[in-house]
Structure 1
Amino acid sequence: MADRPPYEIARETLKQLATRRLAPTPDNYLAIYDEIAGSRSFQPFPETQLSSIQRVLPAQTPGQKRLLTQFEKAIATKDWSALQSVLVGYANLGLSPVAATPVVSETTAVQILPADFAEALARLIDNTLPALGEDDARVHDMATQLITFLREPDPPLSTVQLMLSNFTYRLSFATEDQAAIRASLLQLLHMIFENIAVLSVDDRWLRGQAESLMAASTPPLTLRRLDDVQLRLKDVIFKQTEAKARAAEAQEQMKDMLATFIERLAQMTASSTTYHETMERCADLIGKASSIQEIAPVLAEVMSATRAMALDTKLTHTELQDLRERTDAKHAEVARLQQELERASTQARHDPLTGTLNRKGLDEAMEREIARSRRLGSPLCLALLDIDNFKSINDRLGHTAGDAALVHLAQVTREVMRPQDLLARYGGEEFVLLLPDTNVESGVAAMTRLQRELTTRFFLQGSEKILITFSAGVAQLHDSETSMDALQRADKSMYLAKRSGKNRVMAA
């Protein structure tokens, strides 16, 4: 049969495929062809499968790196003997690439990774990938293979250990690259902010905003600090655009007034020239006159020209005076705009008395924290607190003392609470505290600690020590409610705390 021509073997192969009712796939055709021909066809080199093995081989030590290079070269040259040598080399190192399927005796049990731990490890790796960017394709391939293997039934511990070791080794390079990229971006950002500060030396508001941006973008960075940078940049862009438009408008008006001024000067010059020419002509006529009758009409012309000149001068003086007043008004408007820009830095989102967030700043902070809480599935608490007996402080010591008491409460709160907790003045003597990553029990405990701390820090008004206390309601945000709903629940709890004797904290 081996001497038959290839075309006869091919024709017989097609007949057998039809007779045996086999699908005409390349594998079925090759199997029947070899059967009829009585020989074995050449098998293609398994580059794809060997490349998959190569991606999980260790490359941590110099010996492993050398063997991995030889393995890669053997695949490229399709050299089976070289592959055999590499496998023997890994076996001699005690790190055989076939360790994923170790041969064990019947008395030795294969260690299996617990399913819940394997799933947790897979989620950890999956959540790590977005932070690495897309620059290193190999680390993503290794992570995908490892996640797939971890989610298979009963993954062997030895294989997981080997694949995880290779992945973490590659991951270390990727994280170093990302850290270097972040550091370079921050450096560029600082250079931009410093340049804004240098170029705006005459603009105190813009310079102050640039300095605030530099401070806000100083490591360590958090999402909250980056959100603050974004909000400040929006303020800078909006106010700068507004100032530029109004300054351009004032500049155009100043140009118009200057052009009018120049035009009036030209008219004054022309009128003056005409007047002088008339005077010279009349002087010549008077010098040539021989009688009073000849001088009379000349004097009439002189008086007429003088009156016209005086009238033009008066009108021009009035117009110039008006121009001056309009110019002074424009200068005052530009100065007022500058003052508005300077005030906007502190009044945009902060209470000018206590330095805490105002209602606008609170709304933006709550929107941001609610989005973060729902994105991460973390709890968020709102605490509404009201100073006890605040009216009596105002009535007995005056509004200045009441303002100082508000400042004292805000200062103690900032010192006692966590950096991520946000304080806002809600109105009058009411404040709102945003407590991220906090459930209602922990929120009540945090507010109670703040109450205890206030009792150890008396508010001094002259020589009198005044104890500041507050009543508070704490509400944990539910999945389906808005910030206003949570605040209303906290307000009801705060009212109950007041009714229960004040200086209390109650959960909504």
Structure 2
Amino acid sequence: MAERPASEIARETLKQLAARRLPPTPDHYRALYEEISGARTPAPFPEANLRGILRVLPAQTPAQKRLLDQFERAVAQKDWALLQNVMVGYAGLGLSPDATAAAAGGAQPGTPDMATLPEELAELLARLIETTLPALGEEDLRIHDMAQQFVAFLRAPAPALSTVQRMLGDFSYRLSFATEEQAAIRARLLELLHMVFENIAVLSADDRWLQGQAEALQSAATPPITLRRLDGVQNRLKDVIIKQAEAHGRSLEAQEQMKALLASFIERLAKMTAASGSYHETMERCATQIGQAATLEEIAPVLQEAMQATRNMALDSRLMHAELEELRTRTEQRQEEIVRLQEELEQVSAQARHDPLTGALNRKGLDEAMEREIARARRIGAPLCLALLDLDNFKELNDRLGHVSGDAALVHLAEVARAVMRPQDLLARYGGEEFVLLLPDTALESGVTAMKRLQRELSTRLFLQGREKVLITFSAGVVQLQDTETSTEALLRADAAMYLAKRAGKNRVVAA
């Protein structure tokens, strides 16, 4: 059914006023208009009445003054929700100065003691709300307004517990929607990033040097995402981009040189073709003159010209052949250089800060990770443990099973270590069979426990070489970084402790 025009409803309203003999007051007109249209008109905001109440409300204590300011702001903004909060606040404090004083500082004689939130707990709750807000973005203005009102109420003198409970319930309810929206936004952004990275990989199929960067970015955009992980990828990509820019520039230069060689090659061919055409024209002209000659005197100069043209052609051919051979050699050299540079780019992408065999950090990656973790530990006052471990009897394993099996054993150790490590722990290959484990937020005793747990895990996950099961063990030294200790000094202490573990019988963990 189509809506009736407002003019028609207005005419019908006036007819009903006359038919029912009602005075044409605004209230009667609005009631009949709503009856005929079937829709209720929102009641007007009673600003005048509320301002009358505002003039008689007490403002003798800080709490009453704060509520009075909120009341005035609610009336000015015509905000029913804020007005409701103010009314509840007044209900909690009481309207009399005695009751307000009781809520602010203690019960007065003859008045009941009202429950208020302790000042320390109120401040902690206010800080929690302020810390939460930046993660929600700026889109939801309503939750920011609620948070500001809630924080202001919490930092007011003696906030009523009942009001805090109600405001906290309202805020947490609104917060649940905001966090769900932020989680959805984050998930959608990660999906878009993956699509971009995959598209880069597809579009750059011929530029394989981009694959290392695309894989690193895809890995960084895979949950769980941590700031430490993003920092590591950022540092890796910076190094990769610099090295790739250098190698890519050299590759482009080699390609330009190759283009120049090909241009010279084509130019030489064109000259050879032109010389060959000139020679054939000379031969044809000489043949025509010989055919027309009647005496030997007329033939002799023609033969002389033909012989000279032949000698010139032979000389040009030899020179052209030598130049073309030189161009061919230089072209092959440039092509080999381009291939070598492409291989170098691929190696740079894959091996910027990681060991190519085990996938753990290499020495450069370890140095950067240690610098970053030491700075973080000292900034927040958290413990940081470092473990240096060395495979036991690795030389004997290499001699008995071969170097390929030795490499496979190193890979096995790295895989088991990553399986039992926490997400924030870092594994690096320090030397041939030596590894370093960085354990953030870990005290010395917990670091020793973590290394013993890794030893137990290695004893249950035996290394398989063909049909032979090989038990891999390691000796480790564990240290907790001291306040003024450098990474080099910590590694030296860990190395000394690891040496003591070897001397004590291997497959042991020693704390320094």
TM-score normalized with structure 2 length: 0.74
CA deviations over 1:196-231 (Å, ceiling 9, x no partner): 022112334424642453343133322234335434
Q: Does residue 53 of the first structure (1) align with residue 70 of the second (2)?
A: yes
Alignment of 1:196-275 (within 5 A): 196-207=200-211, 209-231=213-235, 233-234=237-238, 237-238=241-242, 241-242=245-246, 244-275=248-279
Following superposition, the deviation at residue 312 of structure 1 comes to: 0.7
Q: Is the 8 A contact 1:206 1:236 kept in 2?
A: no
Cα pair 1:217 1:229 within 8 Å, conserved: no
Amino acid at match of 2:70: I
Name the counterpart of 1:360.
Answer: 364
Q: CA deviation at 1:450?
A: 1.0
Segment drifting more, 164-173 vs 347-356? 164-173
**Which among 327, 331, 355 is matched to residue 327 of structure 1?**
331
State the SS of the aligned residue for 1:435: strand
The residue that corresponds to 2:124 in the other structure is: 120
Deviations 1:155-196 (A, max 9, x none): 543343344334334433443443343234323322321220
Find the counterpart in structure 2 of residue 182 from structure 1.
186
Does 2:445 match 1:441? yes
User: Is 1:101 the equivalent of 2:105?
Assistant: no
For the structure 1 residues 161 and 481, does the alpha-carbon distance in structure 2 shift closer, same or farther, using more than 3 Å as the test?
farther
Cα shift readout 1:319-358 (whole Å, capped 9, x = no counterpart)? 1222222222222222222222333333222222222221
Distance 1:177 1:246 in 2: 48
Aligned mates of 1:54, 1:315 — CA distance in 2: 102
Pick from 429, 435, 441 the counterpart of residue 431 of structure 1: 435
Distance 1:463 1:219, change over 3 A: closer
Residue 96 of structure 1 aligns to a residue in which SS? Answer: helix
Structure 1 residues 478-493: aligned runs within 5 Å: 478-493=482-497
Tell which deviates more after alignment, 362-371 or 300-309. Answer: 362-371
Return the offset for 1:274.
Answer: 2.6
Question: Structure 1 residues 479, 168: CA separation in 2 closer, same or farther (over 3 Å shift)?
Answer: farther
SS at match of 1:335: helix
Partner of 2:164: 160
Deviation at 1:96, TM superposition (A): 2.3
Distance 2:91 2:467 in 1: 80
CA spacing shift, 1:232–1:196, aligned 2, 3 Å: farther
Counterparts of 1:99 and 1:498, CA distance in 2: 74
Q: What SS is found at the alignment partner of 2:430?
A: strand
Deviations 1:340-394 (A, max 9, x none): 2333333222222222221122223323333443454433211111112223333
Against the structure 1 CA distance between its residues 436 and 250, is the aligned structure 2 distance closer, same or farther, given a 3 Å change threshold? same
Asked if the contact 2:255–2:338 (Cα under 8 Å) also holds between the matched residues in 1, the reply is no
Equivalent position amino acid for 1:75 in 2: A
1:37-58 Cα deviation digits (max 9, x unpaired): xxxxxx8999x96795269xxx
How far residue 432 of structure 1 moved from its aligned partner, in angstroms, is 0.4
How far apart are the structure 1 equivalents of 2:162 and 2:453? Answer: 49
**1:425: how far off?**
0.6
In the alignment, the residues of structure 2 paired with residue 462 and residue 152 of structure 1 have an alpha-carbon distance, to the nearest angstrom, of 74
Q: Between the two proteins, what is the percent identity of the paired residues?
A: 67
Pick the aligned partner of 1:453 from 450, 457, 466: 457
Q: Hey, what's the Cα distance between the residues in 1 that align with 2:439 and 2:491?
A: 13
Number of equivalenced pairs: 440
- For 1:340 and 1:44, the matched residues in 2 are separated by 83
Aligned-residue RMSD, C-alpha: 3.6
Q: 1:445 to 1:153 in 2, by over 3 A?
A: farther
Once the two structures are superposed, residues 423-462 of structure 1 have per-residue CA deviations (whole angstroms, 9 ceiling, x without a partner) of 1110011100111222211111010111122223333445
CA deviation profile, 1:279-320 (whole Å, cap 9, x unmatched): 233223333444444433332322221111111111112212
Measured after TM superposition, the shift of residue 266 of structure 1 is: 2.6
Cα separation, 2, equivalents of 1:245 and 1:44: 80
For 1:309 and 1:266, locate their aligned partners in 2 and report how far apart those are by CA, in whole Å: 15
8 A contact 2:261–2:327 mirrored in 1: yes
Q: Measure, in 2, the Cα distance between the counterparts of 1:250 and 1:90.
A: 74
For the 8 Å contact 1:99–1:158, the answer to whether it is kept is no
Query: Residue type of the partner of 2:382?
Result: S
Which amino acid counterpart does residue 373 of structure 1 have in structure 2?
A
CA distance in 2, matches of 1:154, 1:478: 45
Provide, for residues 244-266 of structure 1, a one-character-per-residue CA deviation record: whole Å limited to 9, x for no partner.
43343233223312321232123
Work out whether residues 470 and 502 of structure 1, in 8 Å CA contact, stay in contact via their aligned partners in 2. Answer: yes
Report the residue type matching 2:253 in the other structure: E
Give secondary structure in 2 for the equivalent of 1:471. Answer: strand
1:417 has 2:421 as partner: yes
Please state whether the residue corresponding to 2:407 is helix, strand or coil. helix
User: What is the deviation of 1:97?
Assistant: 3.3
Matched, 1:473 2:456: no
Cα separation, 2, equivalents of 1:135 and 1:341: 43
Counterpart residue number, 2:303: 299
1:382–1:154: structure 2 CA closer, same or farther, 3 Å change rule? Answer: farther
**Preserved CA contact (<8 Å) 1:216 1:228:** no
User: Relative to structure 1, is the Cα distance of residues 351 and 149 closer, same or farther in structure 2, using a 3 angstrom cutoff?
Assistant: same
Equivalents in 2 of 1:138, 1:375: separation in Å? Answer: 35
Choose 497-506 or 109-118, whichever is displaced more. 109-118
Query: Do the aligned partners of 1:384 and 1:432 also contact (CA within 8 Å) in 2?
Result: yes
Structure 1 unaligned runs (5+)? Answer: 1-42, 56-70
1:384–1:474 Cα contact (<8 Å) kept: yes
